[in-house]
Amino acid sequence: MKTVRRVSQVCFFALFVLLFFQTNRRVDWASGGMDVAAWGPADLFLRIDPLLGWTALIGSGSLLIPVLVWTLPVVALTLLFGRAFCGWVCPLGTCIDGADRLMRRKKLRRTDREVTRPRLKYYILAGLALTALFGSQLVWVLDPIALLTRGLTLGVFGPLNWVAQAAAGIPGLGWAAQVGSGLFPERPAVFRSGALALLVLAAILAGGYFARRFWCRSLCPLGALLGLLGRFPLFRRRVGAACTACSACGIDCKMGAIGDKGRRTVTSECIFCYSCAELCRQDAIRMIAPGGSRHSMPLDLDRRRLLAGFGLGAIWGVSARAATATRSTRDGASHIVDKHLIRPPGSVAESLFTERCARCGACMKVCPTNGLQPAIAEAGLGGIWTPVLAPRIGECSQNCNLCGQVCPTDAIEAFEIAEKEHLYIGRAAINRSTCIVWESGKQCLVCDEVCSYSTIYWLDEGGGDVTHEDLASGGEGAAGAQALPYVDPARCVGCGICEYNCPAGGPDAAIRVTCDGDKRHLSRAGQKAWQKDNWVDREGKPEFQQI
């Protein structure tokens, strides 16, 4: 059965990796439409994760039935078999088992004593539940599925892509380019500070130096939740009369779940790995056996520490809540945030966004221009690894809605491409000191040329309209050289294609998008209404369209 378990682990891990690589765009060559290339939901593992689902419910304060339904299979598994998910399905568990093997040392580690009473993760879970209640989600940082997905996306995907591209340049390895073109975006994906997420993953795996399944037994909040659900499973480890109390199984148990010299089990820690059953020389252990309480040991959480967990969670939640400065504007209260905090189109309003976003990295992975990057400081400490648009790295492509398609928690709500022209995520502003038209009188119209929404308009130095015919005469000294570009706020949604293509300014382009103009606090209909109210008809430009 150990072999069967390992096969199960490998299969689920392979599925996880497959879905990871399939979180990629697929272009319909006939129509040009794009969707996500996965055979099923690309975020399957995130959806079935009860910790993510249930904290999302707490945070949103509503009973999201579809979310609940997706978590039922794992709940059912846990009610039947306890933490079998950890031992048979969890991809991080598989990584940890693998890493533990690599770090196996010859002598028995001191910490592998009979029952290690790993209760810290329950206190962590308590804290996370409270932060969820206050709407400041920390669970995403510690949930194993989100953590693994994020680490792979931000820390592994980019370097892997770079390796494939480099290999394609080596004579004889051109096939790597063919393989790569299906798996990777056109240019190697780069994620700023991506190694940070990878480091977190590496630190977790490094716990294997101290004890096997260190993360699973001591820290994992999903393990704690499943442990609580699976305290009285239908089937549990049962030791028969043949047992000689030699304690061999207890010393070997990687979860520290076996006590009373091998006869009893802490059911909320047992992951059904079958190591004890195959180790037992008396063959006294049955794993799939109807349970009875005499085989189990109590969980025995310490009340004070539990309260401390709740308390710290509450303190974090309240202080994080109070940490965002706001001021009232004509449009309503606006959060004072970093000007580079540009969210993907279709995102919900900022306070709700940081609650819902799982920091899974799926939107960043699927973004075809690599424009979505992990926030490091822009959204504060609590917003680390949430997606922000960095147009200088990649614009928000006009005919794309992949991020909305792939977001597992509806932090980015799905949207139609036609809606994008009134989903305001920011606004472009021209830096008149570095724009070569404003500053040097040169003729450059790149921002106008590439703008998807016909935003740039031109006025001469006297403020009079300048048409494109006037602009086109070319050469120095012509009337066109004195025309100056302006950004129309009702047309500019903040996609950043101007910033991406601007030839001036180096890293700080002469036209760049800031979150000024972000209108996510309005409903979509509200944003359309705002557009209509602020629309200015301009000659040669498309007219207002009521969609």
Partner 1 sequence: MAGLACGGVAVGGCGGASDPAPDAGLRQPRTLGRGRGRVWVGHSGDPASALRAAVAAAGGLGFIPEGGHVVLKPNVAWSRNPQQAANTDPRILAAMIALCREAGAGKITVFEHTIDRPSEQVLAVSGIAAAARGAGADLVYTTAERDFVPVAVTRGKLLTRDTLARTVRDADVFINMPKAKHHSQTGLTLGLKNLMGVIFNRQAWHSGPDLHQYIADYATAVPIDMTVMDASRILLTNGPKGPGKTREPNEVIVSFDPVAADAYACGLFGLSPSDVAYVARAGELGLGESDPANIAIERA
What is the binding site for partner 1 (CB under 8 A)? 25, 27-32, 34, 165, 169, 185-187, 368-369, 394-395, 397-400, 436, 442-446, 448-452, 454, 468-469, 471-476, 497, 501-504, 506, 540-542
Min. distance of Cβ 370 from partner 1 in angstroms?
9
Q: Which is nearer to partner 1, 95 or 367 (CB)?
A: 367
Min. distance of Cβ 412 from partner 1 in angstroms?
19
Q: Which is nearer to partner 1, 42 or 216 (CB)?
A: 42
Helix 194-206, helix 144-151: angle, nearest 10: 130
Min. distance of Cβ 325 from partner 1 in angstroms?
34
Min. distance of Cβ 423 from partner 1 in angstroms?
17
Angstrom CA distances, 91 to 98, 143, 145, 416, stand at 11, 12, 7, 33
* Cα–Cα dist 390/400, whole Å: 16
Q: Which is nearer to partner 1, 86 or 471 (CB)?
A: 471
Q: Which is nearer to partner 1, 231 or 468 (CB)?
A: 468
For residue 276, what is the enclosing H or E element?
A: helix 275-279
Return the closest-CA partner of residue 219 out of 302, 101, 78, 119. Answer: 119
Q: Which is nearer to partner 1, 26 or 286 (CB)?
A: 26
Length of the chain: 547
Angstrom CA distances, 200 to 27, 51, 227, stand at 34, 19, 23
> Is 547 strand, coil or helix?
coil
Min. distance of Cβ 44 from partner 1 in angstroms?
25
Min. distance of Cβ 459 from partner 1 in angstroms?
15
Q: Which is nearer to partner 1, 326 or 473 (CB)?
A: 473
* Cα–Cα dist 166/45, whole Å: 31
Min. distance of Cβ 340 from partner 1 in angstroms?
18
CB-based contact 158:106 (threshold 8 Å)? no
Min. distance of Cβ 545 from partner 1 in angstroms?
10
* Cα–Cα dist 62/409, whole Å: 13
Residue 43 has phi, psi (to 5 degrees) of: -100, 30
Q: Which is nearer to partner 1, 451 or 515 (CB)?
A: 451
* Cα–Cα dist 271/236, whole Å: 10
Q: Which is nearer to partner 1, 66 or 474 (CB)?
A: 474
Return the closest-CA partner of residue 120 out of 45, 219, 47. Answer: 219
Q: Which is nearer to partner 1, 9 or 369 (CB)?
A: 369
Return the closest-CA partner of residue 126 out of 63, 51, 201. Answer: 51
Q: Which is nearer to partner 1, 210 or 544 (CB)?
A: 544
* Cα–Cα dist 524/134, whole Å: 26
CB-based contact 313:131 (threshold 8 Å)? yes
| Torsion over CA: 425, 426, 427, 428 (sign) | negative
Residues with Cβ within 8 Å of 215's Cβ and at least 6 positions away in sequence, in order, are 92, 96, 144, 204, 207
Min. distance of Cβ 532 from partner 1 in angstroms?
19
Return the closest-CA partner of residue 492 out of 437, 531, 438, 547. Answer: 531
Q: Which is nearer to partner 1, 49 or 499 (CB)?
A: 499
Min. distance of Cβ 473 from partner 1 in angstroms?
7
Min. distance of Cβ 534 from partner 1 in angstroms?
20
* Cα–Cα dist 55/337, whole Å: 25
